Structure 1
Amino acid sequence: MVEGSARPAVLTWQRREKDGTPVRLVDHTFTPPEARGQGLAGKLVEAIVADAREHGFRIAPQCPYVVSAFARHPEWVDVKA
């Protein structure tokens, strides 16, 4: 839950597989309006990138926010599907 909000910030994904490698198709991010501008969506993307590195899956960005985050972070290429 986000402090001061009745709703959580979320990042949603679908489990997939590509060429035998597990993939998370990231399809949506949401930050409650009252909590926007605090970098919460960015922290969610950073968390799934860290999880991908730790657990050996790749990320297929579909959400426009995640697509742009990957464009801003070329160092994430190792986990991009």
Structure 2
Amino acid sequence: MDVNIVHEEKYQQFTVTLEGDEEAELAYARPSDKEIDFTHTFVPESARGQGIAQKMIEEGLCFARDKGYLVIATCPVVAKYIARNKQHQDLLK
């Protein structure tokens, strides 16, 4: 499935617009200038199992790496993704 991920810095989230005006989101907070805390991942039930959350998380982690941010993974889905993808573990605070 091809997904279009939009980074909405104003709202501190990465979003994917789905059919029927539903949205998936990866929300974050910025506790400091050098940190990003991924706080919440949501994918509507009708779109689960298609890898949308993983794609949003990957996009968020690439953004963090590009900006030089340390990552806090408050969201358990993000924490699990990082644990399974060792190439991102160096980002963890």
Partner of 1:48: 60
- Structure (1 or 2) with the greater strand fraction: 2
**Runs (4+) of structure 1 moved beyond 2 Å?**
none
Instruction: Spell out the pairing of 1:1-81 with structure 2 (5 A cutoff).
Output: 1-2=17-18, 4-17=19-32, 22-81=34-93
Cα distance, 1:58 vs structure 2: 1.5
Residue-pair matches, total: 77
Structure 1: unaligned runs, 5 residues or longer: none
Identity percentage over the alignment?
A: 31
Structure 2: unaligned runs, 5 residues or longer: 1-16
Q: With CA pairs under 8 Å and 6+ residues apart, which has the higher RCO, 1 or 2?
A: 1
Give the secondary structure class of the aligned counterpart of 2:50: coil
The normalised TM-score by structure 2 is 0.76
